[in-house]
Structure 1
Amino acid sequence: MGAFLNKPETKKYNETGEGNGLRYGVASMQGWRVEMEDAHHAQLTLNGTLSDWSYFGVFDGHAGARVSAHCAENLLECILQTDEFRREDIAEAIRTGFLDLDKKMRELPELSNGQEKSGSTAVCAFVSPKQIYIANCGDSRAVLARNGMPIFATRDHKPELPSEKSRIVQAGGTVLIQRVNGSLAVSRALGDYEYKKVFDRGPCEQLVSPEPEVSIHERSEGEDEFLVLACDGVWDVMTNEDLCAYVHSLLQLTDDLVAITNQVIDTCLYKGSKDNMSIVLVVFPAAPKPNPEAQKADRELDATLRQRLTALIEQNASTDDGEDSSGRFTQVLKQLVQEKIPGLPPGGGLAAKQALLDKIYREFYPEHPDSAETFECQELADGFDNN
């Protein structure tokens, strides 16, 4: 939804913190979209008796940023204020909190004037000393990893899912081109009140439902590595398995979570993501630590890439085909993709090394811009994805 820029906006917002035995890093980037509609919330310590609880959330807005920003600011408090939370029925409290927030937002003057069309998906997690509570509404996704593999992932709420399609049809809607009434690509979201006008049906029986799916996971101190919450701009180009393998490998190179989350969304950009991107990475004590062997292998890979790219540049230098440096760079990368370089980061592939390749190429052609600004070749993106 929405138009694209002529080149992506790659400036990032970052955040990091440590507490309650957890570390977290956040990275968000506007990318190719004409505006940034994502929002997030990360809080290591909750108030009062919940000082050993943490909360994280990612909110992916569409048709505007107003709803996602409001959700990021208010969802946590809506959940904490429920009677269910006071009774320690956490899963039901989360569900009730989502519904309460959606109802309260509908009554806000800035959202009830009929002009505001925005909505937002949401994925959030409460981490207590013994459990992890994960909730999602829409197609932002959470993945919990052990041993570099996903052991749980939330389900994206898409209109074509049989249960979602059934609700949409019963509410008088249709699913066309995998969208609600041919327009909205998610079947659950907060806001989107133009899809919530069937007044003889409850809030969870509308064309678009604000109801989250909630799951509970017992923590395993010796096995839990990390939890990822991210919007669909990440998942559009990364499978659960790829992202877990990639983050696992990056944690063996550095303990800088900002650097890791930045690297993930940059890699997704190079893989062809056209959306806003936001990721929250929550790291548990059993996560991999930086180790000399992995760092040495990464340096050796960089040396191999430098050698091969340099050879290809020199090989192509004698051919004057009239292309500018960006066009020649794309052609060289296509050749490099075909070589199937061994030892590339799992899940990241050659796209994970795009910044290095840019740097090397600029040594030969100083006028060459960052490929993030010129990367429009889907064939090359597909090659990165398959390398």
Structure 2
Amino acid sequence: MGQILSQPSIRKDKEEELGLFSSYGVCSMQGWRTSMEDEHITLTSLLSALKSADIEEETKKFVDGLSKENKFLLEKLSFFTVFDGHGGDFVARFSGSNVGRILAVVVSEKYNEFLKEDRDVKDFPLSECLIEAFLKTDEELLEDKLSKLDHSGCTATSLLLDSLNKVLYCANAGDSRTVLATNGFAKNLSFDHKPTNIGEKTRIMQAGGFVESSRVNGNLALSRAIGDFEFKRNDKLPAEEQIVTAYPDIIAHDLNLDFDDFVILACDGIWDCLSSQECVNLVYYAIQQFPKDKEFSLAELSSIIIDVCCSPDAGGHGIGCDNMTMMVVALLKEGETLQLWKNRVLSKNIKLDEDANFVDYRKKIFNYYQFEDEQEFSVTRKSGKITFDNSGEEESEEKDIDMDADEAPGSRFRSGLHKQAGQSNKNRPGNEKTIQVPLSEILQLGGDGLTYDQNGMSYIKGDFLKVLGLAGANARFAQEDEDDEDMEEHNGDVKIEEVEEDEEKEKES
């Protein structure tokens, strides 16, 4: 499962935009993990990927040379992707910054050749463009000097909307997932790449690898990804036949806006908790429940589903403890606003099961946990319940974030802990206690396995809890500022070790 915090970092990054052919809302949350390794791309027009202020001079010259036909095609394409990093965030961040540009260049170059052949635009192979873009991302990573020192990777699930020909293309590598909602039903546009799948296992073994404990070489819990170059070292095999490959599966869907309503893209942190149909049900339910007096928000819908999936504690089996990114893309008719789209969906009167609601699904996912009434969401929302408007809550939550745990400047995501010092946590079972103890007192009392992480949080196991009469309790400690000499004085009485992430064990989606 990887290292987790004693309390989740619940700050959410949201964004949304209305395009000509689609509207999206996305929300990302670090959650219980010690760092954020998710990324995403949201381009309502693929042409905008070539107009970024930070593109290289070579790309700018390429853009200047684009024909009107080329620009017209790129304007009619929308591109959305969720990247789920593992073993670090380098590859996910690189992908989030570059895959859109790479795809736009590939489409433009292939379209130039296509036009010379005087063929019907409906025959233009966008699926081939997606495959080439994924593989070229690996190639560019290998050219990057920093990537040679990095061992991370990321899954990628993408939606390319061709509004000219009314076709959806999904490119998927890994165990993130894209799902289409059509008249209340879920249609998977991607399928999870797990090492135990017969086709994936066959490729892994033929490339010289093995599957152990449902993992590639006993390590990686997925079988396709961008990066992960230690699994791509067989010089005798092409990229698509390596132990782990970035080669995506492509599924195309002919769009019918009388039936097709929206598309969900999410990392496996969501799909570990909800089935495709359950997630689709919650989006329909949220649309039906959204207050008429509030501005409709796809980002808020995404945020609510993250709330449903975020574990109420760290005592389960790791379910709900991952980074989470959730994106909803509304499929618009020509000239349709988001409000008109919402009304169109509501007019279908989609019938949902009685238990298809936020509270019942949350209780179903975490059936081991005893929730208090109207406090089911207290781990992520201070009100403890869904209100469809938590802007005030998030504003006060940001003040509670541990500012010392911020990531490097320029980071889109901020690490940190939601401090609750001096407050009882109503969500915890009665036999659990939360305490804060200065490090000096911990050292005086003794303990085994004292560690501290990048967020300044300390954890302890062994006899120390017995000393306090709290065996089996969840303990959380505030670390005092002590210099190295003070630490050394106590080293004879207690084992102190700094946690360093084991890259070989931490690689999981």
Note the 1:78-97 alignment, pairs <5 A. Answer: 78-82=102-106, 83-86=109-112, 87=114, 88-97=124-133
Distance 1:268 1:84, change over 3 A: same
How far is 1:190 from its partner? 0.4
Which secondary structure state, in structure 1, belongs to the residue aligned with residue 83 of structure 2? Answer: strand
Cα deviations by residue, 1:353-375 (Å, 9 ceiling, x for unpaired): 99597369xxxxx9444749x9x
Aligned twin of 2:27: 27
Count of aligned residue pairs for this structure pair: 323
Opposite residue 184 of structure 1, the aligned amino acid is L
Aligned twin of 1:273: 320
Aligned twin of 1:51: 75
- Aligned-partner Cα distance in 2 for 1:207–1:291: 46
- Aligned-partner Cα distance in 2 for 1:153–1:269: 24
Note the 1:294-305 alignment, pairs <5 A. Answer: none
Cα deviations by residue, 1:197-244 (Å, 9 ceiling, x for unpaired): 111111111110110011111111211110011000000000001000
Preserved contact between residue 159 and residue 187 of structure 1 (Cα < 8 Å)? yes
- Aligned-partner Cα distance in 1 for 2:198–2:385: 48
- Aligned-partner Cα distance in 2 for 1:175–1:6: 32
How far is 1:257 from its partner? 1.2
Shift >4 Å, 4+ stretches: 350-357
How far is 1:279 from its partner? 1.3
Distance 1:359 1:179, change over 3 A: closer
Which secondary structure state, in structure 1, belongs to the residue aligned with residue 202 of structure 2? Answer: helix
Aligned twin of 1:126: 160
Preserved contact between residue 92 and residue 154 of structure 2 (Cα < 8 Å)? yes
Aligned twin of 2:5: 5
- Tell me the TM-score normalized by structure 1: 0.76
Provide the identity percentage.
Answer: 34
Preserved contact between residue 225 and residue 288 of structure 1 (Cα < 8 Å)? no
- Aligned-partner Cα distance in 2 for 1:66–1:19: 30
Aligned twin of 1:194: 230
Opposite residue 275 of structure 1, the aligned amino acid is D
Distance 1:140 1:352, change over 3 A: farther
Which secondary structure state, in structure 2, belongs to the residue aligned with residue 187 of structure 1? Answer: coil
Opposite residue 17 of structure 2, the aligned amino acid is G
Note the 1:258-269 alignment, pairs <5 A. Answer: 258-269=299-310
Aligned twin of 2:492: none
- Aligned-partner Cα distance in 1 for 2:426–2:98: 38
- Aligned-partner Cα distance in 2 for 1:354–1:30: 11
Note the 1:1-387 alignment, pairs <5 A. Answer: 2-47=2-47, 48-49=71-72, 50-82=74-106, 83-86=109-112, 87=114, 88-112=124-148, 115-129=149-163, 130-254=166-290, 255-270=296-311, 272-285=319-332, 288-289=342-343, 331=370, 333=372, 355=381, 358=384, 367-369=423-425, 371=427
- Aligned-partner Cα distance in 2 for 1:100–1:354: 39
Preserved contact between residue 12 and residue 29 of structure 1 (Cα < 8 Å)? yes
How far is 1:51 from its partner? 1.7
How far is 1:132 from its partner? 0.9
How far is 1:85 from its partner? 4.9
- Aligned-partner Cα distance in 2 for 1:211–1:332: 43
Report which of the two structures shows the higher radius of gyration computed on alpha carbons.
2
Distance 1:332 1:279, change over 3 A: closer
Q: Say which structure is richer in helix.
A: 1
Opposite residue 196 of structure 1, the aligned amino acid is K
Which secondary structure state, in structure 2, belongs to the residue aligned with residue 243 of structure 1? Answer: helix
Structure 2 runs not aligned, ≥5 long = 48-70, 115-123, 291-295, 313-318, 334-340, 350-355, 361-368, 387-421, 433-509
Opposite residue 227 of structure 1, the aligned amino acid is V
- Tell which deviates more after alignment, 38-47 or 251-260: 251-260
Which secondary structure state, in structure 1, belongs to the residue aligned with residue 98 of structure 2? Answer: helix
Cα deviations by residue, 1:332-358 (Å, 9 ceiling, x for unpaired): 64xx69xxxxxxxxxxxx779995973
Distance 1:102 1:268, change over 3 A: same
Preserved contact between residue 157 and residue 173 of structure 2 (Cα < 8 Å)? yes
How far is 1:282 from its partner? 0.2
- Aligned-partner Cα distance in 1 for 2:156–2:209: 23
Cα deviations by residue, 1:274-332 (Å, 9 ceiling, x for unpaired): 1000011101248543869x9xxxxxx99x99xxxxxxxxxxxxxxxxxxxxxxxx646
Opposite residue 57 of structure 1, the aligned amino acid is T
Opposite residue 35 of structure 1, the aligned amino acid is S
Opposite residue 162 of structure 1, the aligned amino acid is I
Opposite residue 97 of structure 2, the aligned amino acid is E
